[in-house]
């Protein structure tokens, strides 16, 4: 069990694999259909597609192996190949198979694919399930908010029902599912945040990545921010929203992230001028002092209880989460 007041990924991976697993971000050159179809993309997304800066002139295998070589010198021996930037299922299945297969090498124990809820066909799921005989497979879906008005305002280009449809189909597979949410969207309320945690819990989603909203130059959000059309709440409001989310989240859901890591260049607003580590420390301190923890207000419908089953709901160490298989 995690010693933190939430079910953190680092502890889970060490339990699952017996040692730390390090994520290696990869850039396969994917784009996003929501950008190229003339609809402009999400208001906060820049040209990088929310990915780390990597040398995309290198092949995927070269990107992976160069980073693995560096990390091995630090004692890391197991890795997660992470297709991060843009929509990593936005290509024909034949091409996807070739790209994914390229990074299934010795010491890679997880294949992690990030994409949109409306880009998850049954053919893509068939493909991903092929790889589960070699590695654990994680599929990450961006949702950001459950509020239909907010989803429209941030120009996600899909609906909540798109997301739920994809979740229901993914949960029939041997694929671990992670959802991305932004905790402090100005158009959301605290109740929206709590309800998002409830929805994630009852759908049996395996993991969650929470982000703190930041503003990058050249985006529609940057224009709105400069024009005074959007105001980002205080750090105290952000921390409270994250805690409320975690309180209503089933303890079995693995927390992959709680705070964003804004880019070093081009950021107009990010994390209230604080480091990611400082915000995490503030968050954990707040939870401990106030006696609040993940799942303390979660609903367990099958037992008819509104109290957390934290001690009874741990996933077994041989499972990535609650997905099939």
pLDDT on residue 309: 53
Of 134-138, 254-258, 312-316, minimum mean pLDDT range: 312-316
Following DSSP, what letter does each residue of 289-305 receive, concatenated?
HHT--TTTT--BTTTTB
pLDDT band of 306, cuts 50, 70, 90: low
pLDDT on residue 34: 65
Over residues 104-122, the mean pLDDT reads 96
The mean predicted confidence, pLDDT, of the chain is 90
- 317 has pLDDT over 70: no
* Burial letters 102-135, b for 16+ CB under 10 A, else e: bbeeeebbbbbbbbbbbbbeeebbebbbebbeeb
Q: Report the SS3 class of residue 142.
A: strand
pLDDT on residue 323: 47
Of 101-105, 115-119, 174-178, 319-323, minimum mean pLDDT range: 319-323
CB 234 within 8 A of CB 282: no
pTM: 0.91
pLDDT on residue 320: 65
pLDDT on residue 132: 98
- 314 has pLDDT over 60: no
Over residues 59-69, the mean pLDDT reads 96
Tens of pLDDT, residues 222-247: 999 999 999 999 999 999 999 999 99
Matching residue, tokens 């992230």: 257
Over residues 261-273, the mean pLDDT reads 94
pLDDT on residue 313: 44
User: Residue ranges of the alpha helices (H) in 19-130?
Assistant: 33-36, 60-72, 93-102, 122-130
Matching residue, tokens 């899909």: 158
Q: What is the dihedral of CA 196, 86, 157, 38, to 10 degrees?
A: 160
The CATH number fitting domain 9-312, selected from 1.10.3470, 1.10.287, 2.60.120, 3.20.20 = 3.20.20
Tens of pLDDT, residues 117-170: 999 999 999 999 999 999 999 999 999 999 999 999 998 889 999 999 999 999
pLDDT band of 31, cuts 50, 70, 90: confident
d(CA 302, CA 285): 32
Tens of pLDDT, residues 160-217: 999 999 999 999 999 999 999 999 999 999 999 999 999 999 999 999 999 999 999 9
């Amino acid at each position: 069990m995690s010693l933190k007041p939430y079910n953190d990924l680092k502890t889970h991976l060490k339990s699952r694999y017996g040692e730390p697993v390090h994520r290696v971000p990869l850039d396969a050159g994917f784009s996003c259909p929501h950008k190229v179809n003339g609809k402009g993309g999400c208001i906060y997304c820049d040209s990088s597609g929310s990915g780390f800066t990597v040398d995309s002139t290198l092949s995927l295998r070269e990107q992976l192996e160069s980073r693995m070589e560096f990390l091995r010198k630090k004692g890391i021996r197991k890795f997660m190949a992470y297709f991060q930037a843009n929509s990593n299922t936005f290509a024909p299945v034949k091409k996807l198979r070739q790209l994914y297969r390229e990074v299934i090498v010795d010491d890679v124990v997880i294949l992690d694919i990030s994409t949109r809820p409306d880009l998850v066909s049954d053919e893509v799921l068939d493909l991903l399930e092929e790889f589960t005989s070699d590695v654990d497979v994680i599929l990450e879906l961006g949702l950001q908010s459950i509020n239909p008005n907010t989803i429209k305002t941030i120009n996600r280009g899909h609906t909540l029902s798109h997301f739920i449809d994809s979740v229901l189909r993914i949960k029939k597979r041997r694929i671990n599912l992670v959802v991305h949410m932004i905790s402090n969207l100005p158009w959301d309320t605290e109740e929206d945040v709590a309800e998002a945690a409830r929805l994630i819990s009852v759908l049996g989603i395996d993991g969650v990545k929470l982000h703190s909203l930041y503003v990058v130059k050249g985006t529609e959000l940057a224009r709105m921010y400069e024009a005074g059309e959007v105001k980002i709440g205080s750090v105290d409001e952000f921390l409270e929203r994250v805690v409320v989310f975690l309180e209503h989240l089933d303890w079995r859901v693995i927390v992959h992230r709680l705070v964003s890591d804004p880019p070093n260049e081009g950021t107009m607003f990010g994390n209230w001028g604080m480091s990611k580590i400082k915000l995490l420390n503030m968050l954990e301190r707040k939870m401990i002092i106030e006696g609040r923890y993940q799942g303390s207000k979660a609903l367990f419908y099958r037992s008819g209880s509104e109290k957390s089953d934290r001690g009874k709901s741990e996933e077994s160490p041989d499972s990535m989460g609650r997905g099939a298989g």
